[in-house]
Structure 1
Amino acid sequence: MFEYENQVPERKPHTFLGLDFSMNGLYKDSEGNEADYPRYYRKWEKKLEREQRKLSHMQKGSRNWEKQRIKVAKLHEKVANQRKDFLHKRSREIVNAYDCVCIEDLDMKTMARSLHFGKSVHDNGWGMFTTFLKYKLEDQGKQLIRIDKWYPSSQTCSVCGYKNPETKDLGMREWDC
């Protein structure tokens, strides 16, 4: 029967969702909804800068330096925990509602370096989000499909398959066939 006791059988998908990475909202799905990502790092950036500046002016190894280092670490941990909480909740909502999720296969490290979007890309946590989606979908026997980054999904009609030659701009995500 199954090789392992806890192995989940794959189910035939009935409901599908496509997710497109969005720099400011985490994603935009095929139904037109956005994640409305709160950008936790950007919210705490000023306070982090202030506390890190205080730390840099202190004598390394002193008690006050250690206290300040812990304060900075707690702020970073708070931002990370808020991000993880949001991503877990969004991924759970998606997994409960859909049997198959299709996402773009993007290299986020390259995107952060080459396009000078470092803080925004890393603040979104797209890679972590896709990891959460993957394991939650697999636990329920559902599918995560990664689409090649060069596939013209934004330029192809989802109903008839017509490829629009005019839409080359990345900002244009919707058009009428």
Structure 2
Amino acid sequence: MSVVASSAIVAAVRRFWWVLPLAALFAWAMILRAEKASLGSDLLAERNAHKASIASWDAAVKTAQLLDLENKRFVEERQAEESERIAHDYEARIADARARAAVSLRTQAAAADQGGRGGAPVSGVPDPARRVGEATCEAGLPAALDAADALIATEQAIQLDALIDWVGAQSRISINEKDEAHD
């Protein structure tokens, strides 16, 4: 380059020095504008992703509520089935105990009627049976229960046994998963 050309460039730069900072500011403004457009699309994408997440959460909550409701119904049905089964078993056992008590009462009444007619004497109670009676008296229990008390004791024992069965059956029903309850 010649001296004239270089002095012309220097003169132009001295005269139009403000063009360089303006060009740099313009370039910077264009870069910011491009970044702003990019940030706007990123923000829009983030908003859409957030809306999709909310919709996904809502769908998951609704699905979980439906599954929970279905599981609740299933567990309640299983509990009702077990309760009904145990109740029927209890009623059958109580009816059987009452029938046996009625037969026993009739047998005792018939034996009492025969005792007054001068029949053969009844042999004494064997020694082992007396020892059992003595042991019950020592424990504070009556040596011989009449038929009504024996029936009440039997009914209470059956009630307790049915309650134990019911509690066991209810505890075996899984409340967490329908599939676990089938295992």
TM-score with structure 1 setting the length: 0.23
Between Structure 1 and Structure 2, the one with more helix by share is 2
- Of structures 1 and 2, the larger Rg is shown by 2
Greater relative contact order structure (CA < 8 Å, 6+ sep): 2
When normalised by structure 2's length, the TM-score is 0.23
